[in-house]
Chains A and B, each alone.
Chain A
């Protein structure tokens, strides 16, 4: 089945690193994503990782994937106040109909304290 869980809230001080965690249940996912939702806006893709990778770095963002534990994390280095938002992890699974279905996590609200 598809279930993607995240902790609801994270608070960090400006300049510190943030780590947002996500667990998923379906091991057949092909891609895993991190999206950012700022207040009153839609979702914006931040980064993604292919399911056969362990790690991906993209400027201040580091994605770690532990397939055995079905655990995905997003680390934001030198967190800024502009990083305050809700972060969603998502997995896409190629289903029997030949298309990718994306299941979103519950979202983690990141609060950055100046």
Chain B
């Protein structure tokens, strides 16, 4: 069974549309994250949620709205998509906020978003 799963794997859409990416983890973790990886492979954190509460919001435009219906899910909704939103979006989870050797981040396979 996949530990951290994301849907869809690929998303191609027009500028101005609204889209959502879903993430689920079956590890029983308390903390979930969204990262954006651009075309140069730079990986930047966008959001972190702990027990469904927003912990980190790294100056992401408010067109991006994460939603955590429960601890196992963290979805990312994007309004009014722009060309610059094209990237790979990775979801991750960790046991809790205090990372360490036995409490590392587990990454999903990524969602490749292309905005035309």
Chain A interface helix/strand/loop/mixed: strand
- Whether, in the assembled complex, A104 has its beta carbon less than 8 Å from a beta carbon of chain B, the answer is yes
- Given A42-B110, A101-B56, A107 and B43 touching (CB < 8 A)? yes
Question: Are the C-beta atoms of B42 and A102 separated by less than 8 Å?
Answer: no
- Does chain A have a CB within 8 A of B60? no
Q: Known contacts A107-B42, A107-B43; is A45 also within 8 Å of B104 by CB?
A: yes
Q: In the complex the two chains form, is A42's CB within 8 Å of B109's CB?
A: yes
**How many residues from A make CB contacts under 8 Å with B?**
27
A-B contact count (CB 8 A): 62
- What CA separation (Å) do A99 and B48 show in the bound complex? 10
Chain B residues in the interface with A (C-beta under 8 A): 4, 35, 40-45, 48, 50, 55-56, 90, 92, 97-101, 104-110
Complex A-B: 22 CB contacts under 8 Å: A37-B41, A40-B109, A40-B110, A42-B90, A42-B107, A42-B109, A43-B90, A43-B105, A45-B104, A48-B104, A50-B101, A92-B99, A94-B98, A97-B55, A99-B55, A100-B98, A102-B45, A102-B105, A104-B43, A104-B44, A107-B42, A107-B43
